[in-house]
Structure 1
Amino acid sequence: MEAEYVVEDEEEEEEDGATPRQRRVEQNGDEEMYEEQQEEEEEEEEEIEEVNFVDEMPGRTDEERAQLNEEMGDLEETVKGLAEDYLLVDRLGEGTFSSVYKAIDLKNSDYNNSLWLNPSSESDDEGAGPSTRRKVQPKVYVAIKRIYVTSSPSRIENEISILEDLRGCTNISQVITAFRYEDQILVVMPFHCNDDFRNYYRHLSITSLRSYFRELFRALRATHARGILHRDVKPANFLFDESDGSGILVDFGLAQYPHGKREQTRVTRTVEQAVYEARKRSKLPADRVGFPHDDKRPSVKANRAGTRGFRAPEVLLKCPDQSVAIDIWSAGIILLSILTRKFPIFNSNDDTEALMEISAIFGKTKMDKCASIHNRTLISNVPALDHAGHNLESIILTANPYLYSNHSPDDTLQEHEQGIAEALDLLKHILALDPCKRYTAGQALEHEFLAEEGVDPDFDGPRGPGMAVCAEGHKLNDDGSPCPIHSVRDWRKPGTYE
């Protein structure tokens, strides 16, 4: 039967010149509308179908479309059964460990999707031609993450396990299903409409700015309440829809449970002596600063995962006991980029340059103190860093002189000025060098810039067993029996069940 199916495809391709994948794209519509269009002229029908196919990949050249169609076709052929349930239509993004594709869920109506389906998951088919617009049920898009075979099995298991732990949490992408075929791992998640950060970060209104960080910190609060570090918070991993102010945190490929508790390391006399000697060496000529090439000391091992420019000081200093505070720092870098209208704000090539960039803002004295907290020593004889630190507001005004005056039409000048002043105060707390003094996600939501009048900041926060777990659709039944999705986990004890 399989051989006959292939032969039929080849015969049809010779007759109409279309590949099996193109026919699947063209026929994905309402059958009733398709029958009505059968009587139209063949040339007009082919022209409409071609336009509809192009609309699925706006902004791409013909060469890019051809390459992407070949790539998606190869994936559909490689993963047996994928084409029966999903129709890949575009690639949303790609990274070191995975690629994410936009796809149409062909069998969406066969399942109960109430726990993860939201209005942004459905397409209104605006601009689509008659051959693809459905009257009865609109097309429902999903995001399919293809994890590369170069990823270690433990990394893949860790990501899927963490996503399962976060099931039902607000502002976090949910897992619809995940499956493996031979060496291919695919994770299916709802598709969320969003805008490219580079297209809106320069002109966000104060209202949209508040919405952005409320959504982001709600996602981080739910994540951190379960003792999970995201480790890669950045604009590309937070899908924000400016039109309705909704945001979803995605990509937990680097996420993990922390190694240590959120507490300050005790500074011993040994460390103080090392800091004293390091400062003495930093005053020597340049050729005498540093360490021997053949350094006998054991190397320090610490998790350095993340995106350059968004790593917290404790990550750059290779502190082994990293806490959820590293995600708060990354959120602060996003806010700094928006206020300065410079993205990326930091663009170092390595950890040493990254530390120098941070030192240029906070000064060597504060960075020395920051390093000593983590039992580290920072040595530098760069004269430009020898200062007490700059005020964040002055740095932002230097980069963006129109910070207070250039406001959005949606805000009055008074609302804009007040919002900027509150945002600067929040920035000071989430970009604190000491992770123990850095705001938590919950504290950020209670700050005057993000707090909503008459709304409990913890209305959708994590709750222990017997009450609820984050989202409305993920709670205990009225009789006290566990949630039908899976046994409710105690968020205070990651990995345990009630």
Structure 2
Amino acid sequence: METVLKSHCDEQHPHEAEDFHRKHEQNNKLSGIKKDIEKLYEAVPQLVNVFKIKEKIGEGTFSSVYLATAQLQTGYEEKMALKHLIPTSHPLRIAAELQCLTVAGGQDNVMGVKYCFRKNDHVVIVMPYLEHESFLDILNSLSFEEVREYMFNLFKALRRIHHFGIVHRDVKPSNFLYNRRLKEYALVDFGLAQGTPDTKIELLKTAQSEGQQEDSVHRSVQRSVFGERNFNVSSSTYQENSSTKLIKQSKMIDVSSRKLVTKKKIISTKTVSNGVARKAASGCPSNLTCDCYATDRVCSICLSRRQQVAPRAGTPGFRAPEVLTKCPTQTTAIDMWSAGIVFLSLLSGRYPFYKASDDLTALAQIMTVRGSKETIQAAKTFGKSVLCTQDVPAQNLRTLCEKLRGTNSSYTRSRGDTHTNSVNDLALPVDKQHAPKTRGKEIQHLQSCQEGDGALEIKATDMKGWDQVPDDAYDLLDKLLDLNPATRITAKEALLHPFFKDMRL
């Protein structure tokens, strides 16, 4: 009887029922967070006398972050961020993260550390708390000048950590906190950081050699601490829908051929070692000759060989080409590629710009913007061979960003830019009427803005400088998205780029 009445009530008052369910979910969430806080106090009892934990503000695969206040001797309360690392984290990895924060942090927009508490296998890192906005919420309200300042400060942070030989490996908006009102920034979360060969962070040298296998297997999971699941940011736009979830995968992997397949095949990619057969696995005799090189399939011999292991930690959509193709030598250039993807989102008004569930799809998506020939040529420079079934032309970055943002730069028109590349050029021509059924999901979001699907746009009434974007912006973007890591622009060089000519270091 109760079920019948409840069902009838839901039909009569759908909005009231929806509010009831929403409040019920919120209460459950708050109850769960309250229990998590109690468990943290029990696990690390030293915190009880120092901090009053208010709420959980972030949660990731390897840690949770809480907002707390500390009573100072002056009588004032100071807000702190408490990062609780899960007990299964490798002690060496925790120590390396702490050393990154203590050595490089505290200046140039890099998060510092105030205290660290440990009880048995529970570790809590205490950092300054920076109130910040959700990147997705503010993306299309930012003026062009704010974007310029944002990128300048991101490069300052990257220059700082790269100076110490730290490769962050997970550069993305949710790991670069931004307080719009105070114009304060902080690069956070060094849980995936690795060291360069000449790193000044001694523990990174040890952690890299000890945890290489762990990184390649376990750390490929997307993780966020301050970011996507940010509980203290009221975000009405984060819910995934047609206008914000720019790429929804509908791919399948054919195990026998390892081809990338969509509802109608757009791009098939494959990467193999350049000119040298991979080391044979124990079940595959070394004298067997591969017969699939330079074809669009993978033979059973290659499938039985041991996969090449290389670091691939990071967030899907932000991984550099050399990471996607498992290049064993990875440098600070991978952070600069990720910064370029952030800049691409800012200029185009689309976030996330790329979103792929596997590395080959991600590589195919990169080709839709940077070109297949260019990607193949760049891969050769770091010892990889990339095969693509179609010739995909490179896009003009200005044309692409203006199409997606919905602006038409008077700066470009005054210079007589006659480039005609459009979003439709991203793949072979198809009937627009049937495009959703025939085009790969990795490129549909680039076309959707032309068809008025209500995607993120800026109203022409308040351009906020977006009609005057200089060529220098796209020149810098092009250098950040250089497919060759050896020639990709560095953070130090980026700060000296003409795009920032009137900004003080």
Q: TM-score range by the shorter chain?
A: 0.5 to 0.7
* Secondary structure of the structure 1 residue equivalent to 2:95: helix
For residues 247-286 of structure 1, what are the structure 2 equivalents within 5 Å? Answer: 247-259=185-197, 271=274, 282=294
The CA deviation at 1:408 is 8.9
Give the structure 2 partner of residue 391 of structure 1: 396
Give the structure 1 partner of residue 341 of structure 2: 333
Give the structure 1 partner of residue 95 of structure 2: 157
* Secondary structure of the structure 1 residue equivalent to 2:159: helix
The letter of the residue matching 2:332 is: V
Give the structure 1 partner of residue 7 of structure 2: none
Identify which of 430, 437, 444 aligns with 2:480. Answer: 430
The CA deviation at 1:216 is 0.7
The letter of the residue matching 2:349 is: R
Identify which of 285, 293, 298 aligns with 1:290. Answer: 298
Give the structure 1 partner of residue 28 of structure 2: 63
**Any conservation in 2 of the 1:368–1:377 contact (CA below 8 Å)?**
yes
Give the structure 1 partner of residue 42 of structure 2: 77
**Any conservation in 2 of the 1:240–1:247 contact (CA below 8 Å)?**
yes
- 1:194-236 C-alpha deviation (Å, 9 max, x unpaired): 1111110112112211221111110000000111101100011
**What CA distance in whole angstroms lies between the structure 2 residues aligned with 1:341 and 1:412?**
13
**Any conservation in 2 of the 1:208–1:245 contact (CA below 8 Å)?**
no
Identify which of 274, 298, 305 aligns with 2:313. Answer: 305
**What CA distance in whole angstroms lies between the structure 2 residues aligned with 1:278 and 1:411?**
59
Change (3 A) 1:74 1:297: closer
* Secondary structure of the structure 2 residue equivalent to 1:419: coil
The CA deviation at 1:402 is 1.9
The letter of the residue matching 2:330 is: Q
**What CA distance in whole angstroms lies between the structure 1 residues aligned with 2:460 and 2:502?**
22
Identify which of 106, 124, 142 aligns with 1:186. Answer: 124
Give the structure 2 partner of residue 109 of structure 1: 73
**What CA distance in whole angstroms lies between the structure 1 residues aligned with 2:176 and 2:459?**
23
**Any conservation in 1 of the 2:176–2:188 contact (CA below 8 Å)?**
yes
Identify which of 439, 442, 452 aligns with 2:502. Answer: 452
**What CA distance in whole angstroms lies between the structure 1 residues aligned with 2:51 and 2:152?**
33
The letter of the residue matching 2:485 is: P
The letter of the residue matching 2:195 is: Y
Identify which of 318, 324, 333 aligns with 1:316. Answer: 324
The letter of the residue matching 1:425 is: D
Change (3 A) 1:75 1:271: closer
**Percent of residue pairs bearing the same amino acid type:** 34
The CA deviation at 1:410 is 12
Is 1:346 aligned to 2:354, yes or no? yes
The CA deviation at 1:444 is 1.1
- 1:263-308 C-alpha deviation (Å, 9 max, x unpaired): xxxxxxx94699xx999955x5x6xx22325645443221111001
For residues 410-489 of structure 1, what are the structure 2 equivalents within 5 Å? Answer: 415-419=465-469, 421-452=471-502, 455=504, 457=505
The CA deviation at 1:442 is 1.3
Give the structure 1 partner of residue 204 of structure 2: none
Change (3 A) 1:420 1:341: farther
**What CA distance in whole angstroms lies between the structure 2 residues aligned with 1:342 and 1:305?**
23
* Secondary structure of the structure 1 residue equivalent to 2:327: coil
Identify which of 395, 402, 409 aligns with 1:404. Answer: 409
Change (3 A) 1:357 1:82: same
Identify which of 166, 171, 174 aligns with 1:228. Answer: 166
Structure 2, gaps ≥5 residues long: 1-24, 200-272, 278-288, 411-456
**What CA distance in whole angstroms lies between the structure 1 residues aligned with 2:59 and 2:491?**
28
Change (3 A) 1:203 1:445: same
* Secondary structure of the structure 1 residue equivalent to 2:338: helix
**What CA distance in whole angstroms lies between the structure 2 residues aligned with 1:159 and 1:307?**
18
Change (3 A) 1:249 1:418: same
* TM-score (structure 1 length as normaliser): 0.65
**What CA distance in whole angstroms lies between the structure 1 residues aligned with 2:30 and 2:310?**
42
* Secondary structure of the structure 2 residue equivalent to 1:449: helix
- 1:412-460 C-alpha deviation (Å, 9 max, x unpaired): 77x543335432221111111111221111111112222335x3x3xxx
The CA deviation at 1:245 is 2.0
**Any conservation in 1 of the 2:46–2:117 contact (CA below 8 Å)?**
no
Give the structure 1 partner of residue 63 of structure 2: 98
The letter of the residue matching 1:401 is: G
Change (3 A) 1:271 1:75: closer
**Any conservation in 1 of the 2:324–2:359 contact (CA below 8 Å)?**
yes
Give the structure 2 partner of residue 467 of structure 1: none
**Any conservation in 2 of the 1:101–1:145 contact (CA below 8 Å)?**
yes
The CA deviation at 1:105 is 0.9
Identify which of 341, 362, 368 aligns with 2:376. Answer: 368
Give the structure 1 partner of residue 416 of structure 2: none
Larger Rg: 1
